[in-house]
Structure 1
């Protein structure tokens, strides 16, 4: 398999397993999980990085790699032969902890983008890159397949695959080199320039 899925921190996985065993955690916002019979398994852990808006919009940022920060790990939750939900974890002062379960389009979109990346034949480390201001999540295919999943910056040779729903004007599931998509995101995130009166 060309994708090198990282191993999540053990406390993050344990927190998700504990939440799956908790009726209270499963009840919140996940009717699909409540209705299922049989085992639920957390799989495909993906580190979730957030694009630093300030790092992109500062005038001094031109020509500098964007800044990202690890904010959590996301697990797809399998029931039988399909993924039915996802679980997010977050880093707290006490370590990794369960955050929440969710359903919706990003679960199926993540699965589809991962299958698409697997068939590409190149070796990548899959990550998620979130751009909250644009309500956008991309599958970040990091070329350094053996890198520490908690660190690193998007490199020009990396690929970003926007997940559906993608923002207007950005095609979902189309792999974009970082060097192609990042300037578009930078432009959209830059503060508007106010015209000065003559």
Structure 2
């Protein structure tokens, strides 16, 4: 099935186009592939970047994430665009929100660029249509492709649904399989346990 991405804010797209048109911005980018690219470059497939905060969430006896009776908290921190050259993505561009609105942040390349493309290909092969997003767990140095089931929703809002899919991008944290789709209902409890603080006084001794 085809993915159905949410349109990015126009100012975010304009800021990336302006950066691509600036020799200074491109030449100063730490992206050799971008500097060496021949031919036109275009920003494609905008992905909203959300941060997941699971530190205060608990796992109940049914292994479901229950953050005080609410859905897992996420917040939008940016929009990411894949920068496509003649035949492939050569870099990515991040934008960020400022007091004056959306603005260009930086270009980058590296393993997450390749992993994002691979995960998007995986998602396109699934039998269900999804809205693609990125979901970050900074405490675990983890980034996932978040496949949201409500394709008509605003990509900047809403929280993960238990039936949504998360595809961890490589490199993934130890013990979590990269490029394997996980239901939100299955993966979030694992992340919650990893982020749970250890007991202050250790395990109580048996009576």
Same fold, judged at TM 0.5 (above) = yes
Larger radius of gyration, structure 1 or 2?
A: 2
The TM-score, its normalising length taken from structure 1, stands at 0.94
Identify, as 1 or 2, the structure richer in helix.
Answer: 1
What is the deviation of 1:151?
A: 0.5
Please give the residue correspondences for 1:18-33 in structure 2 after superposition, counting only pairs within 5 Å.
Answer: 18-26=18-26, 27-33=28-34
The answer to whether residue 167 in structure 2 is matched with residue 161 in structure 1 is: yes
Select the residue among 81, 88, 113 that pairs with 1:82.
Answer: 88
The answer to whether residue 148 in structure 2 is matched with residue 142 in structure 1 is: yes
Matched residue, 2:63: none
Does structure 2 retain, via aligned residues, the 8 Å contact 1:55–1:67?
Answer: no
Matched residue, 2:190: 184
The TM-score, its normalising length taken from structure 2, stands at 0.90
What is the deviation of 1:21?
A: 1.2
Counterpart secondary structure, 2:83 = strand
Does structure 1 retain, via aligned residues, the 8 Å contact 2:38–2:86?
Answer: no
C-alpha separation between the residues in 1 aligned to 2:5 and 2:71?
A: 24
Kindly report the root-mean-square deviation, in angstroms, between the aligned alpha carbons of the 2 structures: 1.9
- Consecutive unaligned residues in structure 2, runs of 5 or more: 61-65
- Consecutive unaligned residues in structure 1, runs of 5 or more: none
Aligned residue pair count: 198
C-alpha separation between the residues in 2 aligned to 1:140 and 1:167?
A: 17
Matched residue, 1:121: 127
Counterpart secondary structure, 2:162 = coil
C-alpha separation between the residues in 2 aligned to 1:96 and 1:83?
A: 23
C-alpha separation between the residues in 2 aligned to 1:64 and 1:179?
A: 14
